[in-house]
Chain A
Amino acid sequence: MVRRLIPIVLGLALLGIVTGIAVVMIVFLGQDWGDALFWVFAATMIGSGLLVVTMRDIIRCGLAMIVCFGALAGIYVILGAPLIAAAQVIVYIGAISVLILFAIMLTQTKDAPSRLVFQTQAIPAAIASVVIAVVIALAIAATDWSEAAERVRVATDVMSHLLFEQFVLPFEIVSVLLLAAVIGGVFLAKREPGGPS
């Protein structure tokens, strides 16, 4: 019982620290709501993303992934793209996460989570991912984004005009792609008559 409470207490403590820093940013440092919310969402996203790739129980990994996607939807709202945030909630939290959770329930054996989580190449993989993050950060810091002016708010009507006039061919291609994915998924996952049980 106590061992089950430890991760919950740790999670609540981390959330409290993050919210506390946000309150300090608003009240004492005089920054605005956008900065504080950006901090909260970014910390939640990175933290739950790390939990997704490190936790032992894969069901909890899936639930942490939902938290990560929700925080990312909040960041889209701060960026001024509310339609993308809505699509993020509907597509990722509503559809893909449920699909992944069902696949987890269909494929996990009882002893799977208790054994080794990582492959033998975990340490080279960790080094490689840290190198990727550092290289991306250095490239971003070294490049002069002088084009970056005031932030653009994406209005929904502007975006729908663009989507159904200039981008109408990719839109239709995406519908065909989704149809192909549905048929392919059903075909791959269906049981062969007379095949292995």
Chain B
Amino acid sequence: MSDSLDAYLVLAGILFAIGSFGFLARRNAISMLMSIELMLNGVNLSIVAFGAFIPELGAQGSVIALMVMAVAAAEATVGLAIVIAIYRNKRTPLVDEYDAMKQ
């Protein structure tokens, strides 16, 4: 089981699907950011799995995964700062009460 690329890719797909469900369904803005982190981790797992199983890629898969991690860290920083800035104005973390652009 741990020697087939398919198992890792299916695992990454399941993690991505769980993250997409959380992103679409949760009301809390921070829960949505956590779901985005889950999706990024699913993608990262598939990248590392491809790098580990396809000899032509070699270490390049791992390098790309490191880049993805750095971008994810930057995304978490800016996203959480935006959530805190919105919370300071609206006094709620729930996204369905952010309706200032609807009016």
Q: Which residues of A contact B (CB under 8 A)?
A: 31, 34-35, 37-39, 42, 45-46, 49-50, 52-53, 58, 61-62, 65, 68-69, 72, 75-76, 78-81, 83-84, 87-88, 91-92, 95-96, 99-100, 103-104, 106-109, 112, 116-119, 121-122, 124-126, 128-130, 132-133, 136-137, 140-141, 145, 147-155, 158-159, 162-163, 167, 170, 174, 177-178, 180-182, 184-189, 191, 196
Please name all residues of chain B whose beta carbon is closer than 8 Å to the beta carbon of A72 when the two chains form the complex: 15, 41, 45
In whole angstroms, how far apart are the Cα atoms of A95 and B33 in the complex? 15
> When each residue 25-36 of chain B gets 1 if its CB lies under 8 Å from chain A and 0 otherwise, what string results?
111111101110
In whole angstroms, how far apart are the Cα atoms of A62 and B34 in the complex? 8
Q: Known contacts being A118-B25, A136-B10, is A181 close to B18, with CB within 8 Å?
A: no
Count of chain A to chain B residue pairs whose CB atoms are closer than 8 Å in the complex: 258
Chain B interface mostly: helix
Q: Which residues of B contact A (CB under 8 A)?
A: 1-11, 13-22, 24-31, 33-35, 37-38, 41, 45, 48-49, 51-63, 65-67, 69-78, 80-85, 87-89, 91-96
